[in-house]
């Protein structure tokens, strides 16, 4: 068959007859939940830090930028290194860095120490994501989208739980109570040590990091087209995570400022949005396994546009209601994007995981910093009105080549 502009060349993507390693995927998902729970605590206590240290929105954005930039810059480098030299127990080491960052955050007495604590939590994330993504693919049994969804839904669940737990623990008891979240990091270290042992045992059987790779480590397209396609995916990640930054860092302030919502109640509403995002993550991978990645990517980003345009004009009730489908639909994109990129660059699983998770964090950090400065110069309401147009960038998905891994598997 001759490849067209919208089809991958006819290369068989074999499915492994081995069932997914359910226990390992579950452990990865729970560890991801704990990792992102630790991360989300930082953003969840921004109102407390703002009052305690008398910070402006720009300084809040800088904290997020330090955290996200640390993860963003280091993740691709770590992923590239571990493609060549896997490090099974680096997962537990990364969680250890987050634990130290949490303890420092609970006792920080200056803005500079807050930045250091944010950087340590970001370092933990940079170490965790590339290797964890590789282990998820190794444990997938060939159901790559499903494995990524299971892995990522844990992260989104942790991101959702962070603000809720912060509202229950940190808001009533203050900054020092953040130290209790170190127990989550400690639990993660124990789980990831077990995962690392399984990973080390299975590396000799699957050195590429997958139980069933495309039968070549070369990209499925010519170099120029592969680079262009990766570029489109990164543009879509920019749209998704810049918009997500407006929620993760400033949604509580938006609710407090516009509707007079108390801090604790605003954290609950943030949990509603992030909980919807966690639920949406589980669908993107399996649907992509069945129907292809491109329809999921296209629909998940562009599909929220009518809702985001309506959000800045809604009252409190409809604001909360609209955030549920926005979070649910938008979150389904990431598993499909990640597996799509892994299929473009077989044999570079760590690099892909590090690049895309790192870029996502970087865009989240840059978005927080830019939107924070914009809020200081205009208003938080203006920020939400402007961000409503970001899903227009989803039209870029039209230029992605279509991949059909399930159809190719059926031809094997």
pLDDT tens-digit series, residues 44-82: 677 777 777 777 777 777 777 787 777 777 777 777 777
- Give yes or no for a contact between 214 and 220, defined as CB atoms under 8 angstroms apart: yes
Separation of alpha carbons 252 and 260, rounded Å: 10
- For helices 349-377 and 380-387, angle between their N-to-C axes, nearest 10 degrees: 140
The boundaries of the domain holding residue 187 are 22-410
* CA distance from start to end of the chain: 15
Please tell me the predicted confidence (pLDDT) of residue 149: 78
**CATH code, domain with 90:** 1.20.1250.20
User: Residue 121: inside a domain, yes or no?
Assistant: yes
User: Residue 271: inside a domain, yes or no?
Assistant: yes
User: Residue 176: inside a domain, yes or no?
Assistant: yes
Of 209, 187, 255, 213, give the one whose Cα is nearest residue 354.
209
User: Residue 73: inside a domain, yes or no?
Assistant: yes
User: Residue 14: inside a domain, yes or no?
Assistant: no
For residue 93, give both structure tokens. Answer: 């080491």
Separation of alpha carbons 122 and 40, rounded Å: 11
DSSP state of 15: P
- Give yes or no for a contact between 213 and 347, defined as CB atoms under 8 angstroms apart: yes
pLDDT digits (tens, 9 = 90+) for 333-359: 777 787 788 777 776 766 776 777 777
Burial 224-236 (b: 16+ CB within 10 A, else e): eebeebbebbbeb
Q: Reply yes or no on whether the pLDDT at 16 is more than 50.
A: no
pLDDT digits (tens, 9 = 90+) for 83-122: 677 777 778 888 888 888 878 877 778 888 888 888 888 8
Counted domains in the chain = 1
User: Residue 17: inside a domain, yes or no?
Assistant: no
Least trusted range by pLDDT, from 144-153, 214-223, 227-236, 258-267 = 214-223
User: Residue 13: inside a domain, yes or no?
Assistant: no
**% the chain with pLDDT above 70:** 80
Please tell me the predicted confidence (pLDDT) of residue 326: 92
Displacement of CA 392 from its chain's centroid (Å) = 21
- Give yes or no for a contact between 237 and 359, defined as CB atoms under 8 angstroms apart: yes
User: Residue 143: inside a domain, yes or no?
Assistant: yes
């Amino acid at each position: 068959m001759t490849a067209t502009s919208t089809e991958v060349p006819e290369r068989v993507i074999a499915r492994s007859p081995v069932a997914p390693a359910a226990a390992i995927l579950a452990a990865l998902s729970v560890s991801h939940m704990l990792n992102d729970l630790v991360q989300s605590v930082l953003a969840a206590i921004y109102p407390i830090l703002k009052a305690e240290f008398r910070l402006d929105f720009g300084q809040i954005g800088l904290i997020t930028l330090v955290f996200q930039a640390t993860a963003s810059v280091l993740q691709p480098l770590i992923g590239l290194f571990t493609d060549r030299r896997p490090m099974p127990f680096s997962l537990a080491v990364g969680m250890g860095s987050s634990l130290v960052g949490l303890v420092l955050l609970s006792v920080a007495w200056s803005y500079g120490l807050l930045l250091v604590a944010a950087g340590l939590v970001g370092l933990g994330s940079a170490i965790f994501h590339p290797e964890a993504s590789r282990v998820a693919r190794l444990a997938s049994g060939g159901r790559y989208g499903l494995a990524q969804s299971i892995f990522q839904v844990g992260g989104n669940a942790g991101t959702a739980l962070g603000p809720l737990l912060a509202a229950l623990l940190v808001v009533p008891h203050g900054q020092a109570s953040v130290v209790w979240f170190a127990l989550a990091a400690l639990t993660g270290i124990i789980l990831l040590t077990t995962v690392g042992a399984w990973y080390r045992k299975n590396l000799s059987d699957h050195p590429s990091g997958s139980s069933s790779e495309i039968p070549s480590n070369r990209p499925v397209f010519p170099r120029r087209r592969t680079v262009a396609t990766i570029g489109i995916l990164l543009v879509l990640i920019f749209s998704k995570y810049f918009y997500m930054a407006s929620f993760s860092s400033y949604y509580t302030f938006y609710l407090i400022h516009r509707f007079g919502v108390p801090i604790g109640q605003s954290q609950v509403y943030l949990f509603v949005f992030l909980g919807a995002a966690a639920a949406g993550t589980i669908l993107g991978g399996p649907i992509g396994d069945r129907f292809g990645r491109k329809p999921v990517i296209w629909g998940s980003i562009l599909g929220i546009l009518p809702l985001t345009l309506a959000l800045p004009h809604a009252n409190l009730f409809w604001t909360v209601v609209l955030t549920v489908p926005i979070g649910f639909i938008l979150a389904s994109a990431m598993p499909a994007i990640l597996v799509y990129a892994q299929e473009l660059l077989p044999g570079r699983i760590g690099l892909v995981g590090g690049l895309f998770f790192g870029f996502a964090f970087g865009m989240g950090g840059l978005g927080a910093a830019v939107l924070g400065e914009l809020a200081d110069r205009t208003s938080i309401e203006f920020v939400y009105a402007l961000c409503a147009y970001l899903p227009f960038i989803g039209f870029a998905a039209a230029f992605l080549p279509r991949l059909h891994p399930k159809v190719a598997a059926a031809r094997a």
